[in-house]
């Protein structure tokens, strides 16, 4: 079984949600174990989006997010991205307000 940490900027384009879905499928088959998901974006909806997707598939996976401003991020665009809609429509209310861990600390711990 492969142990995996997924680093993603999930939220504004579909490649990251697809990668997470593929990894969750591999985990369900016993081919992989997702140890953590880290977010290299300051999108305030990204962590709740990851939580919504993983909880839907029946998993609670630690999520960490960068605390550093990411160059060239289009912050106003976050309000239009799917992460906001996924977290709002499918996220559990107790996870929406959950603050993600610091990504670097989570990586070191994991």
Task: Quote the CA–CA distance of 73 and 27 in Å, as a whole number.
Answer: 31
Do residues 50 and 20 make contact, with C-beta atoms less than 8 angstroms apart?
yes
pLDDT tens-place values along the chain, 110 residues long:
999 999 999 999 999 999 999 999 999 999 999 999 999 999 999 999 999 999 999 999 999 999 888 888 888 889 999 999 998 888 765 544 567 899 999 999 99
Conformation bin of residue 71: beta by default, left when phi > 0, alpha when psi is -120 to 50: beta
Task: Give the pair of three-digit tokens for residue 44.
Answer: 């305030």
Coil/strand/helix, residue 105: helix
């Amino acid at each position: 079984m492969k142990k995996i940490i997924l680093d993603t900027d999930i939220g504004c384009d579909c490649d990251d949600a697809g990668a997470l879905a593929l990894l969750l499928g591999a985990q369900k088959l016993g081919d992989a174990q997702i140890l953590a998901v880290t977010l290299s974006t300051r999108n305030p909806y990204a962590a709740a989006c990851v939580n919504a997707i993983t909880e839907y598939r029946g998993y609670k996976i630690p999520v960490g997010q960068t605390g550093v401003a990411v160059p060239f991020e289009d912050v106003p665009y976050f309000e239009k991205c799917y992460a906001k809609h996924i977290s709002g429509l499918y996220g559990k209310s107790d996870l929406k307000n959950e603050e993600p861990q610091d990504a670097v600390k989570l990586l070191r711990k994991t």
